[in-house]
Amino acid sequence: MVTISDVAREAGVSTSTVSYVMSGKRAISADTRDRVQAAIARLGYRPHAGARSLASRSTRVIGLQAPLRTGVDVPVIMQVVAGVVQRARVHGYDILLLSSDEAEGLARASRGSMVDALLIMDVESEDARLATIAELDQPSVLIGLPAGRRSIPCIDFDFEAAGWLAVDRLVGLGHTRLALLGAPEAVMERHTSYADRLIRGFLEACEARGVEGSTHPIPDSAEALAEVDAILTADPGITGILVHNDGALPFIADRIRAHAPGGAAPDCLALTSREGALRAHGLTDTIAVPAEALGESAAEMICAILAGGARPSVQLLPPELAVGEPSRVRIDS
C-alpha cells in the first residue's frame, strides 16, 4: 500500500510538503507542487478519508448515530433514518450510519475526519455522550431532548405536549381514570428522553385536569397480552388508555376489547408512527409521531448549520390529534 512517505521520497520533499500540497493550507511553489502531483500519479497514491477531507475541507458526509439497543422500535428508527437520508441527499450530503451507542464511536468519526457533522439519535435524559459531543470540532444536532442541555442544538417531536393532548381528549370523553401503556422496560430504565417526557406530560396533565393517571411499561411483543390483563384486572376502573408502543399496539387493542364483553371497551388513544395500520383494530383516535418528517427536519437543521446558518437551540414538532368515528369501540355480546 502506497503511503504519503512513499510519495515524499518519490518527489524528493518532506511528508509535510506533500500534506500541504493536498490540503492547500500553505503556499507551495509551482515546481514543487507539480513534482508532488506527478509522484502521486505515478505511485497511484490514494489518501485516506482524513487526507481527502483536508484537501476539500469537506467530506460531504454526515454521521448519523442510530444505536439499535434493547427495546428500540427499529421500524420507527428506520423511518427517521429514511427522512435524514432523503433530505441530506437534496443538500449534496451522504450519510454514514454509526451503529454504536457510545461516545467513542462519535469521537472516532470526528477525529478521523470522516464526517462534516453528526446527528445523534436515541438520546437519554442524562446522556453520557453529551460531554464528548460538546468537545468535538464538527457541529452536532441531537434528535432528542436531554435534560439541562444548553449548547447542543436539539430537534424532536413534542412528546410532553402529546401527553397533555391525549389526556385532554380522554378527559373530554368523560374519563376520570387513565393509564399510559408505554415503551418497554429497557427504554424506561435507560430514561430515554422521549419516554420520560411523555410520562411527565401525561401525569402533569392528569393532575391539572383532576383525574387519576398511571403509567406502565409494556413489552413490544405478544407478551403485552399478559401485561394488559394484569393491569386491567388489578384496576378495572381504568376507562381511558393512551398507548405508545407500536410493536404492542395490535395486542393491546385486542386485549382491551376482551375485557369488555357485551359492552363498551375502554377508549384507547394511540400515539404512533403507523396510524394507518390501526383501523382494523378499532383504534380511531391517534396522535401521529411524524418519524420521517423528524428525520427530514434534523437533516435540514444540520445542513443549515454547515452552510453557516445560526445554531438553533431547540425545535419541537407539535402533536396533532386525529379523531375518528366512532371514538369508542363496542363489543357485541
Whole-model pTM?
0.79
Mean pLDDT of the 145-173 span? 92
- Give the pLDDT band of residue 37 (cuts 50, 70, 90): confident
Residue 329 has pLDDT above 60, yes or no: no
Whole-number Cα distances in Å, 157 to 13, 145, 195: 55, 9, 12
Q: What is the pLDDT of residue 205?
A: 98
Q: Contact, 122 vs 67, CB < 8 A?
A: yes
Q: Among 32-46, 173-187, 227-241, which range has the highest average pLDDT?
A: 173-187
- 23-32, 255-264, 267-276: least confidently modelled range: 255-264
Q: Which three cell numbers stand for residue 251?
A: 395486542
Residue 277 has pLDDT above 90, yes or no: no
- Give the pLDDT band of residue 247 (cuts 50, 70, 90): confident
Residue 154 has pLDDT above 80, yes or no: yes
Choose between 79 and 261: higher pLDDT: 79
Whole-number Cα distances in Å, 109 to 65, 98, 286, 298, 301: 10, 9, 39, 19, 20
Residue 279 has pLDDT above 60, yes or no: no
The answer for 130, left when phi > 0, alpha when psi is -120 to 50, beta otherwise, is: alpha
Mean pLDDT of the 294-306 span? 95
- 111-115, 136-140, 214-218, 245-249: least confidently modelled range: 111-115
Mean pLDDT of the 68-79 span? 90
Q: Contact, 237 vs 266, CB < 8 A?
A: no
**Percent of the chain whose predicted confidence (pLDDT) is above 70:** 87
CA angle 13, 14, 17 (to 5 degrees): 90
Q: What is the pLDDT of residue 285?
A: 86
Q: What is the pLDDT of residue 332?
A: 30
Q: Is 308 exposed, middle or buried (0-12, 13-18, 19+ CB in 10 A)?
A: exposed
Helix or strand (DSSP H, E) at 271: strand 267-272
For residue 60, give the nearest of 101, 15, 94, 108 by alpha carbon: 94
Q: What is the pLDDT of residue 262?
A: 52
Residue 263 has pLDDT above 70, yes or no: no
Cα separation of 13 and 34, whole Å? 12
Amino acid at 312: P
Strands across the sheet with 177-182, in order?
A: 212-217, 177-182, 240-243, 267-272, 285-288, 321-322
For residue 326, give the nearest of 259, 254, 265 by alpha carbon: 265
Q: What is the pLDDT of residue 278?
A: 58
DSSP H helical ranges for the chain: 4-11, 15-23, 30-43, 49-56, 74-90, 103-111, 130-135, 159-172, 185-189, 193-209, 224-234, 249-258, 291-306
Amino acid at 91: H
Mean pLDDT of the 269-290 span? 75
Mean pLDDT of the 169-187 span? 95
Q: Which three cell numbers stand for residue 181?
A: 401503556
Residue 330 has pLDDT above 50, yes or no: no
The per-residue pLDDT for range 94-134, each reduced to its tens digit, is 999 998 888 998 998 888 778 999 999 999 999 999 989 98
Mean per-residue pLDDT over the chain, rounded: 86
Q: Exposure string (b/e) for 169-181, b if CB count within 10 Å is 16 or more?
A: bbbeeebebbbbb
